[in-house]
Structure 1
Amino acid sequence: MPVGDARGDGPVDRTADDRPARPAGRPERAEPFAVLMPLWGKDRAERVEQAVVSATEGQQLRPDLLILTVDGPLTAELEELVKRVEAGAHGPATVLRHSAHRGVAAALQDGLETSPYELVARADADDLCRPERFALQIPRMQAEGLDLLGGAMREFSERIAPGEGPLRTRPLTHAEITAYLPRHSPFHHPTMVLRRSTVLAVGGYRDLPLLEDYWLWERMMLGGARMANLPDVLVDYRVDEHLFARRGGWRLFASDLRLQRRFVMDRVTTPTGFLRNVGERGVYRLAPGWARRLAYRRFVEHDGRTA
């Protein structure tokens, strides 16, 4: 059974007048859902616009609402884009603004709490959603009462066109995901659809640099969430020259240590598993960027299932 809302309020119950208008041509049988996309000043406007279009107008099953969370000051070009989004250029939209940059966990939590809908799809401001993404995910969430549903991704970059890059997969079934989670994150965050009440029941997004999603998956698993991944490629994931630099360093290794300690306390892993996981992550985080890139390419491009 799914977890109830620990705060006692459950999913927001709003009247029809309080909801954004249903997009034209949307099947009545499809459960309404929102797309949640965080945005900050270092995003590039042309990439953000491509991401927004791919998650709204470009979808076979269009969302009922786009929630754009603006995390801190923006460039003038991004401000113009946000104004167009807020005016409904790409469909019904809500824009949440914060004057200071607080981090992705806070931005996502605000968007999640704001959503009038129980189903919330994550999308990033520089990735591209495949047109069939929500047409595949929303019916599956409805039919099986899932709390978490993700899928596969393909990388692309300035050198590699969408659809031609390395494939990233994750385990498909609830049992496989549960077995996989103690050692690696079992979901690709940019592909996820989440059940709002279940996420809020376990405390929602909490700040942990680069690992806020992995921590959330662990808490949802412990809370009884029903989880699955689709084998389909749902998102084209942008990889730039700075990716591997961002994946290393002492700050992120400290996040690994915090999360692995939590896994031991929650009995998700054993002390032996803790030492193994910390050792693997220490080598990865503290290696030079070129070595991290080689290791990543060696394992991700072969089986798509490294952390």
Structure 2
Amino acid sequence: MTEPFALLMPVYRGDDAAHFAKAFASSVTQQTLKPAQVVLVQDGPVGHELAAAIEASVAASEVPVVHHRIAENVGLTRALTEGLALSDHDIVARMDADDISLPERFAKQVPLVEAGLELVGTGMYEFLDDDGTIVGKRVPRSEADDIAAYSRFHDPFSHPTVVYRRSAVDRVGGYQPMGLMEDYWLFARMIADGAAVGNVPEPLVMYRVGAGAYARRGGRAQWRSELALQRALRGIRFTTRGQYLRNVSIRGVYRFVPEPVRKAAYRRFIARSAKDAPAAS
């Protein structure tokens, strides 16, 4: 018998109502292996349209939903921390409110956690917000040694794709504030702590690339988050001095190059072509 698991999904006022409804359905009712519980964390007040979509999705769900409302917008780190505390299960699957889970996602990830992995992500298709066109395919490192090596320079997991054991997350102190990089900081600490990790190379999540996606990867705020992260990684000796200097210089330059150059670099080194992708509509 498959171990029950919870789905953890945060939502806030910036999310689109239609996107949320599709994300919720794809991760709950349309899964071949459904979660036993949904923890929906509403991070602050939302507009009428999104509120109606949330209410309709919760009412129609065959899976019990804990709808946790936070009075004010507190940000992703605290929203996820409060959501994890409300999970009835040790296995927790993450999902964002504007992406799409493919039907076999949890059927392929959860057994890997049951078999001993404590953190497992998947590949992703990237699709355009405006017309659903598939524009990229992320294929992550899948073996633990490759993931550990890659993590010294890049985040080895795509946050919306992961399934983990809450006990392994709690063991390293859970989500902690790190600017815009709280997920990378968590995963690095889990790897440093010896967590059993892996990735399913197959894309099992469709990631929405909206307007401004590449602009958000650059600028001073992103650079400050980057610098704080690199100092933290060095502080726990996750990276060597040489790796720290390399990361600060190369990843730092990336934050300040013009957006078209940043987009081209991302497409060249992170996202691959995806001719075999399913429709995003």
Same fold (TM over 0.5): yes
Please state whether the residue corresponding to 2:39 is helix, strand or coil: strand
Q: CA deviation at 1:221?
A: 1.1
In structure 1, the partner of 2:95 is 123
1:53–1:90 Cα contact (<8 Å) kept: no
Would you say how many aligned residue pairs link Structure 1 and Structure 2? 274
Matches of 1:49 and 1:159 in 2, distance apart?
A: 17
The change in CA–CA distance for 1:160 and 1:173 in structure 2 (over 3 A counts) is farther
Please state whether the residue corresponding to 1:252 is helix, strand or coil: helix
Cα deviation 1:75-115 (Å, max 9, x = unaligned): 00111122233435353111111111111111111111110
> Does structure 1 residue 237 correspond to structure 2 residue 243?
no
Matches of 2:52 and 2:188 in 1, distance apart?
A: 38
> Does structure 1 residue 137 correspond to structure 2 residue 106?
no
Matches of 1:261 and 1:296 in 2, distance apart?
A: 23
> Does structure 1 residue 153 correspond to structure 2 residue 124?
yes
> Does structure 1 residue 84 correspond to structure 2 residue 51?
no
Cα deviation 1:260-282 (Å, max 9, x = unaligned): 11221211111121111011121
In structure 2, the partner of 1:202 is 172
**Which ranges in structure 1 are unaligned for 5 or more consecutive residues?**
1-28
Please give the residue correspondences for 1:1-307 in structure 2 after superposition, counting only pairs within 5 Å. 29-89=1-61, 91-143=63-115, 145-158=116-129, 161=132, 164-302=134-272
Identity %: 42
Cα deviation 1:29-72 (Å, max 9, x = unaligned): 01100111110001000000000000001100011111111011
The change in CA–CA distance for 1:166 and 1:63 in structure 2 (over 3 A counts) is same
* Structure 1 stretches of at least 4 aligned residues deviating more than 4 Å after TM superposition: none
Amino acid at match of 2:243: G
Matches of 1:71 and 1:159 in 2, distance apart?
A: 25
TM-score, scaled to structure 1: 0.85
TM-score, scaled to structure 2: 0.93
Moved more, 280-289 or 63-72: 280-289
Amino acid at match of 1:147: E
Q: CA deviation at 1:234?
A: 0.9
1:58–1:131 Cα contact (<8 Å) kept: yes
Moved more, 244-253 or 185-194: 244-253
